[in-house]
Amino acid sequence: MESSQQLTEYELKRLDNIRRNDQLMASLKIHSKVAELSAASKRQRVGIKSYKVSPEKKPKTETPIVIRRSLRTRGMPPDYSDSKGLGDIVEAADKVSKSPTSSKPSPRALGPLSVRDAYRGTGSDKLLIERIMEGSKKENKIFGDKNGGDLMEGVSESGSCLELESLSLNPENIARVVPGKILNVRFFPCSDRRIIVVGNKFGNVGFWDVDSGAHEEDGVYLYHPHPGPVSGISIHKHSLPKIFTSCYDGFIRLMDAEKEVFDLVYSTDGTIYSLSQRSDDVKCLYFSEGPGGLNIWDERVGKCSAQWNLHESRINTIDFNSENFMATSSSDGTACIWDLRNIGADKPKYLKEVRHKRAVQSAYFSPSGCSLATTSMDDTVGILSGANFDDNSMIKHYNQTGRWISSFRAIWGWDDSYVFIGNMKRGVDVISPAQRRTIFTLQSPHMSAIPCRFDAHPYNVGVLAGATSGGQVYMLTSD
């Protein structure tokens, strides 16, 4: 064994650096996060696609190391007057850092974060960035040719476009994309490719390029752009290289694959619970903030163009149909439909309200826009349909997920025939709104955890992504 006297000056200096880095990391409380990610990478099973974490990587500008305590975590009500857009960020950072009582975020942490610095993988993410850019160029060309129209493969004019019995899980289509609980899952809106984006409770954003073919990274890429749980992911069909993500800690970032940066779009002391965009508007972001607030961020003016208080408690989802209607679901036990042309600036008035007995986790419009599906902790899935959404039916569905599993959210398939929702027996329940009952349950021996959050591929009928609270993603297909 070498004694310290035999160490070279360089080695001593290096050990000293390591010791000081350890102290710094301990003081910033990120040791646990690193250990967690390293441990997770050791545990992965052979044969299952998984993220791989680089243990050495210590980025210079790491957002998560900033101890940033929001008003909420300090037990104080949110101060909406302090919400800052991009134009005011430097000023906001200065103001906070001068405060003697609050912890001091680095102003750099409030700026853009390079994709390279946010990356946590072992290999290169060059292939992913290339794939995203390729997909974007192709989609933009298609939309240019088709004058912006949507094209869905396999949709027939009448009846359902999907044979339920053919929906299955191929063991090849399983990947561990991030560590921990997934809160959001989205397909990249690209017609000839399956790229799945997820956000987890640690602030990671993971990508799974399903059609990548076998290579070192398994097509799985892990980033860490946020300090807290990722509450929303939005990728507009007509603005493809741009991936918006929001987090509980009050940040909205834009991953621009072209610029290779996670830009900071919006920052607030409030909690951001959900994020959405309208299909006919690429310039505005709709997001929920604090207990019941809903804001519209307008990119053209660089600030919020509207701020409403629509609910008594947090807004869990925001969705739109093509008729200027917006649906919100809230933990106050209601879901509401709003007419955006006539919402009322001061005292917003809903067009329709659905009352559940407990918190409402989601409210999504059907593909036609004529129905609404709500999911509530009161063990029902509500279907609102008919003229003026006057018909309301409540379908029994067990939704008690406990605290470790993300709450269930019923989503629509590729037409108005079916609604998909997870169940506690590691299956996917299919509800028929017409029959007002669960008509089918998809189960697979390969599904080792409960799929709780879903997304239907926007162009490929029968391609359904289910995400679990252990970081796994299942891609069901109907081949």
261 with 114: CB under 8 angstroms?
yes
Rank residues 51 and 325 by Cβ distance to DNA and give the closer one. Answer: 51
Spatial distance between the Cα atoms of 369 and 365, rounded to a whole number of angstroms: 5
Rank residues 215 and 358 by Cβ distance to DNA and give the closer one. Answer: 358
**Per-state percent for the chain, helix, strand, coil, to nearest 5:** 20, 35, 45
Tokens of 102: 């609050």
Spatial distance between the Cα atoms of 362 and 406, rounded to a whole number of angstroms: 12
Rank residues 184 and 417 by Cβ distance to DNA and give the closer one. Answer: 184
CB of residue 333 vs DNA: minimum separation in angstroms? 7
CB of residue 451 vs DNA: minimum separation in angstroms? 8
CB of residue 349 vs DNA: minimum separation in angstroms? 23
Rank residues 441 and 448 by Cβ distance to DNA and give the closer one. Answer: 448
CB of residue 183 vs DNA: minimum separation in angstroms? 7
> At 284, is the secondary structure helix, strand, or coil?
strand
Rank residues 395 and 405 by Cβ distance to DNA and give the closer one. Answer: 405
CB burial of residue 404 (10 Å; 0-12, 13-18, 19+): exposed
CB of residue 3 vs DNA: minimum separation in angstroms? 31
* CB count in 10 Å sphere of residue 229: 22
Query: What does the CA dihedral 400, 401, 402, 403 come to, rounded to 10 degrees?
Result: -140
> At 426, is the secondary structure helix, strand, or coil?
coil
CB of residue 73 vs DNA: minimum separation in angstroms? 6
CB of residue 387 vs DNA: minimum separation in angstroms? 30
Q: Which residue has the tokens 């405060």?
A: 99
427 with 440: CB under 8 angstroms?
no
Closest CA to 295 of 282, 283, 280, 310: 310
Rank residues 107 and 180 by Cβ distance to DNA and give the closer one. Answer: 180
Q: In what order do the strands lie in the sheet with 303-309?
A: 272-276, 284-289, 293-298, 303-309
Instruction: Phi first, then psi: give them for residue 277, nearest 5 degrees.
Output: -135, 150
343 with 122: CB under 8 angstroms?
no
State the residues that interact with DNA by CB under 7 A: 35-36, 39-40, 43, 73, 75, 176, 179-180, 183, 201, 228-229, 248-249, 271, 314, 316, 331, 333, 358-359, 361, 377-378, 400-405, 407, 424, 426, 448-450, 468-472
Spatial distance between the Cα atoms of 216 and 475, rounded to a whole number of angstroms: 20
Entry field: residues in the chain = 479
CB of residue 260 vs DNA: minimum separation in angstroms? 28
Rank residues 189 and 229 by Cβ distance to DNA and give the closer one. Answer: 229
CB of residue 479 vs DNA: minimum separation in angstroms? 25
- DSSP label of 66: S
Rank residues 350 and 474 by Cβ distance to DNA and give the closer one. Answer: 474
Rank residues 314 and 397 by Cβ distance to DNA and give the closer one. Answer: 314
